Structure 1
Amino acid sequence: MELADTAAPAHAPVSLVDVSSYLPGDPVGTEYFTQFARSDRMAKNVMFRAPRGRHHVSRDETAVDMVERAAAPLRERHGTDLFRDIDILITHTQLPDNPVMGCGPEVARRLDMRPNWVLDVHNGGCGAFVHMMAMARMIMQTTDARTALIAATQNTAGQVFTQTDIRKLAQAPVPGDGCGVGLLVKNDEAPILDIECRSYPEFAGDMDFSSGSERKYWEPGEGQGCVSFTESKVTKVFARGNRLVPEVALAVCDRIGVKGRDVDTFVTNQPNRLFLRNWHDALELPAERHPDTFDRCGNLFAAGIPVTLDTENQAGRLRNGSVVLMAAFAHAGDFAAAAAVRWGAGR
């Protein structure tokens, strides 16, 4: 794809030079959930139509374990000293193992890293991979940092959605677990062409994490914690998602001088089949240019973009020099982000 001529960038280029990922355990079929399912009108909602499969993290597998396993292929491809030279480490974990602190310092210890910047970000939701790209690029363009590792971990499927009361719910079969990581370097090898991040705080209260009782999640008592929506809120979230992802994606396209229909590969978060169809229709893209890992992995939340990128890259379907557009919206619509890169990770 040819890009429109633009002025030289104000800052040094930053590249997404590689991605890798990890899916825990054996695939879990939908029949696991059907044995527990109860009659629920929410199950008919398009938001909760189940994928054919997904992966579940085990009870004793931590977010740090998942990042370490996702990052292992990067070390194999780039050499044993790769992580010692990382200047920036940014992580996002859907369900922190320790609610008081993030996993970043332990990831650095496990990978034998000595980064000057260690950040654990909890906002960004399904758009966190793009959010972390934006943060890493900003740091590299304003400091002497030259390399970054970003990691997005989704670990609620096997820990939250298989609880005895929660696995009966319509939404329980939709999530899957996984982790995706990206390696960024201050060079022009596979440059980030543009990034758009938008916050919508007016929608922040439309998704809840509740125990189904009056107790706080950390207090003892009855009830099992779960992300929840009312049926009326689901309708609103669906409308927002249909709008927000194309908006941020096309904003990036406009600034880099391409039409949505001319993007080589469009990679999004993977909430459900209808979102996927609506999003590539909005960009006037054929389905084959919008990779779909939903039926194999379920909704991977923040890990959806890097896992899908890695899947496509390892299959040889991402051509070096092509324009890859990433986009996602988070939670009930309080955040949306998009980024375009000139692909150069190869295989």
Structure 2
Amino acid sequence: MKFAKIVAIEYELPSHSLSNEDLARQFPEWDVAKIFGKTGINDRRIVAENECASDLGLRACEKIFDSGVIERSDVDCLILCTQSPDYVLPATACILQHRLGLPTQCAAFDYNQGCSGYIYGLGMAKGLIETGQVKNVLLVTAETYSKYINEGDKSVRTLFGDAAAATLIQAADETVALDRFRYGTDGSGAQNLIVPVGGSRFPAAQNLDLESRKDESGNIRTDADLYMNGPAILEFSLTRVPELFESLFDENFTTEMVDHFVFHQANKFMLDTLKRRLKLPEEKFVREFEHCGNTVSSTIPIALKESMEKGKLKEGDMVACVGFGVGLSWAACTVRF
């Protein structure tokens, strides 16, 4: 039997940066130190007006091919996680398959999952490979949340950045490298992180005269913009994530056997609180979002790649990955590198 194994990870950030200094000039009540103290973020990367998820995903995938680890002709499955597709239809994965020059025998599909999406993608890749359906999966996560964010809404503008990551997962003869997948969903919280207008329920074409509103905290948005109920998302995370995390472990697999803990890189306050609640050692707790912000489905692969480049993540290391957020959804797994 073949087992699914992560072989390579690359990521791509847009060239334009939105710094804390930029935000402080627009929101004088939030100085640079306050923004960083709350978020742990210095810079967020923002796509150009004509730049989309497939553009970022394309450049991340090209880095995989440039490394020489695989030929385009050998990719037989492209999975794309995005909540900001190029079009309502067709699937952005189909567009990306053509732009990358992948074989027409390659499967390609989108899925819309968000902050837990990377782990869902790893789970699908594992299933496809270990049932013998495919051999080489390109898992792409790509988001341009900035297109959904009102410039007057500091509650989300201080957090989110645009990015894409590409992960090559291959069939290998080695023992299990992707394991202990756990999933969860609570759609009753869907309204707490949402773009209300733009889908079939409330089509954008029927809501062109969208009124800007200011909330009690001074944030400005329309119904076509991203809305986040911060307190509700925090409560969800601090309730569900510890339960999810603890479900990874048993008498045969303990936290002491893990070399690195990579959580969805939401923000400093969220990660600090979870680390403290779960009693995790700081030296094993990965933080890699200061330079790019919360990049949604790409936070975990970016953190993994940064850890590899810095020499922290080495061959043979055991990693526990935990994703959580929009949906509401959550997922976790272990990765042996």
TM-score (norm 2): 0.85
1:342 equivalent in alignment to 2:336: yes
Structure-2 residue corresponding to 1:5: none
1:169 to 151, 154, 172: 154
**Partners in 2 of 1:100 and 1:318 — Cα distance?**
38
1:138 equivalent in alignment to 2:124: no
**Partners in 2 of 1:46 and 1:238 — Cα distance?**
18
* Change in 2 beyond 3 A, CA 1:47/1:215: farther
Structure-1 residue corresponding to 2:179: 193
Shift of 1:258: 2.4
Structure 1: segments with no counterpart, 5+ residues: 1-10
Shift of 1:113: 0.9
**Partners in 1 of 2:133 and 2:195 — Cα distance?**
40
Cα RMSD of the aligned pairs, angstroms, is 2.8
State the Cα deviation string for residues 59-95 of structure 1 (Å, max 9, x = none): 112211111111222112235x522211111101231
Counterpart amino acid of residue 217 in structure 1: A
Which shows bigger deviation, 294-303 or 92-101? 92-101
1:160 equivalent in alignment to 2:159: no
1:75 equivalent in alignment to 2:65: yes
Structure-2 residue corresponding to 1:24: 14
Q: How does 1:1-80 map to 2 (within 5 A)?
A: 12-37=2-27, 49=39, 51-79=41-69
State the Cα deviation string for residues 226-276 of structure 1 (Å, max 9, x = none): 12134xxx3232121123223223322338x32224411111211111211
Structure-2 residue corresponding to 1:243: 239
Aligned length: 318
Counterpart amino acid of residue 336 in structure 1: W
Structure-2 residue corresponding to 1:323: 318
Structure-2 residue corresponding to 1:228: 227
* Change in 2 beyond 3 A, CA 1:301/1:27: same
Shift of 1:45: 11
Structure 2 residue matching 1:340: 3-state secondary structure = strand
State the Cα deviation string for residues 142-197 of structure 1 (Å, max 9, x = none): 2331110101112112x233x4xx33433212111111111111114571122112
Counterpart amino acid of residue 226 in structure 2: V
**Partners in 1 of 2:191 and 2:302 — Cα distance?**
28
**Partners in 2 of 1:69 and 1:210 — Cα distance?**
30
**Partners in 1 of 2:35 and 2:43 — Cα distance?**
19
Asked whether the equivalents of residues 15 and 192 of structure 1 are also in contact (C-alpha less than 8 Å), the reply is yes
Structure-1 residue corresponding to 2:204: 217
Q: Percent identity?
A: 21
Counterpart amino acid of residue 111 in structure 1: L
Structure 1 residue matching 2:59: 3-state secondary structure = helix
Counterpart amino acid of residue 18 in structure 1: A
Which shows bigger deviation, 240-249 or 292-301? 240-249
**Partners in 2 of 1:46 and 1:206 — Cα distance?**
24
* Change in 2 beyond 3 A, CA 1:33/1:102: farther
Q: How does 1:274-285 map to 2 (within 5 A)?
A: 274-285=269-280
TM-score (norm 1): 0.83
**Partners in 2 of 1:283 and 1:90 — Cα distance?**
32
**Partners in 1 of 2:36 and 2:42 — Cα distance?**
15
**Partners in 1 of 2:28 and 2:205 — Cα distance?**
28
* Change in 2 beyond 3 A, CA 1:38/1:168: farther
Asked whether the equivalents of residues 7 and 170 of structure 2 are also in contact (C-alpha less than 8 Å), the reply is yes
Shift of 1:99: 1.7
* Change in 2 beyond 3 A, CA 1:169/1:275: closer
* Change in 2 beyond 3 A, CA 1:315/1:72: farther
- Structure 1 residue ranges, 4+ long, deviating more than 6 angstroms after superposition: 44-48
1:128 equivalent in alignment to 2:117: yes
Asked whether the equivalents of residues 11 and 163 of structure 2 are also in contact (C-alpha less than 8 Å), the reply is yes
